[in-house]
Structure 1
Amino acid sequence: MIGPSSDAGELIAHLETLRSEENVAGMARFGIVTDRALGISNPDIKAVARLAKKDHVRAMQLWRSDIREARLLALYTAEPKRLTMEEARNWATDFNSWEIVDCAADLFVEARLDELIWDFAADDREFIRRTAFAMISGAAVHRKKECDATLLAWMPLIEAHAGDPRNFVRKAVNWALRSIGKRNLACHAPALALAKALAESPDKTARWIGKDAVRELAGEKLLARLR
């Protein structure tokens, strides 16, 4: 039986027993890298994480396995307060799918490694740049007590990278803009203004990001909620 005392090897052995080749094939259709995947669903990995509990040193060992499920387990069981900037940067160099990125972004936001947002946005690697905007979105949604000024200070990054046509970047830039705009009325106005400006851009990608964000941010349902 796995639990808090289980080491990385024991947890990986347990994950191996949950392998599903059928699920591996399905994951590939959703753009998940499956070279080193066991085909275990996220809810099932989270169930293992609940039994294993947090253990930062063990999370580092799980990450080094290069197995998709072990890496997700590492992200779920790492200790945010112990996660260092250097560790986060090292992990980021291994990012190879949107799924890992979005899970890591939640951890980095919880660890309050905000400095990484600027660094990752400036990095030309697709999944590292995506991480910056997934972190902005995560901060907008999960940090209820965060000062609005913190979030609005990231808006120039959204504008600067709205022309990146790579699928996983443009979707994350759009996601970040919408998340800021949906936070509250104070954030809504500048986010909608930027969305409208991007919608008029001569750049095809920026135009798509802007129009899609305007569609949601100008909706009556959202405005009613924010008021």
Structure 2
Amino acid sequence: MVPVDEQVETAIAWLKRHATSKTRDGMARYAIPSEHAFGVSMAHIQQLAKQLGRSHALADALWDTGWYEARMLAAYVDEPARVTSSQMDRWCRDFDNWAICDTLCFALFDRAPHAWKKVPLWAGRRDEFVKRAAFALLASLALHDREAADAQFLHGLELIERESGDDRNFVKKGVSWALRSIGRRRSPGLRTAALATAKRLAESQEPAARWVGKDALRDFAKAQAKRDSA
């Protein structure tokens, strides 16, 4: 067995070899900070993850390097069943951009044993990316958790409505993502409930809530048009 610290050194060296200034410079266009980034494409990060395989210890060590690409890599290397509650909180506090937040929620956290407990917990937090993580995680669960009961998502809709007035860009987009995912990917009953939520929000006096509602309604209308034409 290769020691974890040597695996990290090898992974970092690989990432540096596959970095380009074009990729790094382009991060700014997507509001992703590049101060702690090499400039490696997601395709290359996923390629390296396949080579490395799953390792909880390696993922934790990669995260602790602080490098953007190493943290992205950790999302694909970690073992979901071994992700702990304290780890989720610790990593979530480190989120400093939407890409890290969404990738961790979409590729790892939503498969972890404590995923559902974190949604209401993080939804009430003030930090912008912790709060976004609550709704990115809810959206990811809507897409991936086939065993979840409708009641869990109905509670998610309550959280969406409660927090929809937060006008911070990355929060309101996360809230919209969660609402749209529940309305498009779950049961007919949840689609109806999500549509009703979107309609109420679209009539809200709060600009952010109104934006979330209208954004979801546009998405639902497109989905319905696609179903009608099929």
Pairwise TM-score range, normalised by the shorter structure: over 0.9
**Alignment correspondent of 1:109:** 110
Deviation at 1:144, TM superposition (A): 2.3
**Alignment correspondent of 2:218:** 215
Say whether residues 1:180 and 2:182 are aligned partners: yes
CA offsets, 1:74-99, max 9 Å, x none? 11101100000001111111100100
CA distance in 2, matches of 1:124, 1:144: 30
CA offsets, 1:53-108, max 9 Å, x none? 01101111110111001111111101100000001111111100100000111211
Task: List aligned pairs for 1:189-204, cutoff 5 A.
Answer: 189-204=192-207
Deviation at 1:43, TM superposition (A): 1.1
In structure 1, runs of 5+ residues without a counterpart are none
CA offsets, 1:123-166, max 9 Å, x none? 10000000000011001111123222211121111001101011
Matched position secondary structure for 2:122 = helix
Given that 1:27 and 1:34 are in contact with CA atoms closer than 8 Å, whether structure 2 keeps it comes out as yes
Matched position secondary structure for 1:133 = helix
Matched position secondary structure for 1:93 = helix
Task: List aligned pairs for 1:1-227, cutoff 5 A.
Answer: 7-106=7-106, 107-113=108-114, 114-183=116-185, 184-219=187-222, 220-221=224-225, 224=228
More deviation in 53-62 or 16-25?
16-25
CA distance in 2, matches of 1:5, 1:165: 42
- Normalising by the residue count of structure 2, what TM-score does the alignment of the two structures yield? 0.92
- Normalising by the residue count of structure 1, what TM-score does the alignment of the two structures yield? 0.93
Change (3 A) 1:222 1:198: farther
Letter in 1 for 2:135: F
CA distance in 1, matches of 2:118, 2:219: 28
CA distance in 2, matches of 1:23, 1:120: 31
In structure 2, runs of 5+ residues without a counterpart are none
Given that 2:83 and 2:113 are in contact with CA atoms closer than 8 Å, whether structure 1 keeps it comes out as no
Change (3 A) 1:5 1:218: same
Letter in 1 for 2:92: A
Name whichever structure is richer in helix by fraction: 2
Q: Percent identity?
A: 38
